Homo-oligomer: A and B are copies of this chain.
Amino acid sequence: MPKEPVTRNDVAEYAGVSTAVVSYVVNEGPRKVAPETRNRVLEAIRVLGYRPNATARALRMGTTRTFGLITPDGGNPLFAELAKAIDKAAASRGYVVLQTSADGDPATERAKIAELLARQVSGLLLVAPTEDPDLTDAEVPAIALNRVLPTISSVRPAYREGARQGVEHLIGHGHRTIDLVVGGDGHSERELGWRDALEAAGLPEGPIARTTFSREGGYLAAQSLLPARPTAIFASSDLQAIGVLRALHESGLRVPEDVAIAAFDGTPETEYAWPPLTVIRQPLEALAREAVRRLIEGEESVEALTFPTDLILRRSCGC
């Protein structure tokens, strides 16, 4: 049964002081309060079960201490992990996170951004946004994660270097051709990293299968690659690698004996894939912390900062 909310007025009355004093006590400033008065107020707060109204506070202060977070798909394990890291980083600074999915659809994305702006979020975190948002008359800092945009600040993993490292590792196992399963628009940095490694080793570019960033995408891509008998495949995401694994199993191919695999991302799912996947792990915690820091500290640099990845060796590459 909903009860009447207890306000600062009730507390003031109960303690026999003015509302200003209650405020001083609650916020420990900006004026000092006599210890005895302070105790009366504290007692009143306790007895009445008073909880300051953050909405009123936000209106007065001009800040909600709330971030808006938009991902393409909250169900994607990578984004779920990233969201969790962001929540943690935000919580440690006293912020909370309004999280929502945009389904990778530009129109939905715009609508969600508008909704979050109307709610006066103190900052916007856009994970892999589909387009450059129009924030010109927004009073709010924004940062893109895992995608570089012209007009807003961004942080991302060192895609190119990470991919290169993964492919180099595969090459180190003696493979002369490394197939690529890649998502996105064909200008991905992960693809460039794959090229870098091949070129550095004087190897020709292997076959490329372009697809979506999903398990099914990886599965279909692998099916298109298999007739040519690949010996090693690099996948641009975990999910794709999982799909690749399935295609290989169905074909009776052994991993890593017949085909070696490595993938970008490194979500927990890969550790329990069969065989366990060698991955380039995204530094999600570092990305989250830096993004939150920039938002809070109002760092306006549009410079796209990059965070180093981790190569995690497991069975799928042949190690």
Q: Which residues of A contact B (CB under 8 A)?
A: 1-6, 49, 51-56, 58-59, 64, 66, 73-77, 80-81, 83-84, 87-88, 91, 96-101, 114-120, 137-141, 215, 219, 242-243, 245-246, 249, 268-269, 271-276, 300
Contacts and interface: CB of A to CB of B under 8 A. Distances in A.
A131 to B, nearest CB: 19
A236 to B, nearest CB: 17
Contacts of A117: 51
B100 A116 contact: no
Contacts of A116: 96
A102 to B, nearest CB: 10
Contacts of A2: 139-141
Contact of A215 (B139, B219, B243, B272): B272
Contact of A84 (B49, B56, B101): B101
B99 A99 contact: yes
Contacts of A274: 245-246, 249, 273-274
Nearest to A65: B119
B59 A87 contact: no
User: Closest 4 A-B residue pairs measured CB to CB?
Assistant: A80-B80, A74-B84, A49-B137, A54-B119
User: Which of A55, A77, A118, A271 has most chain B Cβ within 10 Å?
Assistant: A55
A103 to B, nearest CB: 9
Given A55-B58, A80-B77, A114-B51, A66 B137 contact: no
A6 B100 CA distance: 26
Contact of A87 (B53, B99, B119): B99
Contact of A272 (B49, B55, B242, B268): B242
Contacts of A75: 77, 80-81, 84, 268
Nearest to A4: B139
B83 A74 contact: yes
A97 B98 contact: yes
Nearest to A244: B272
Contacts of A52: 118
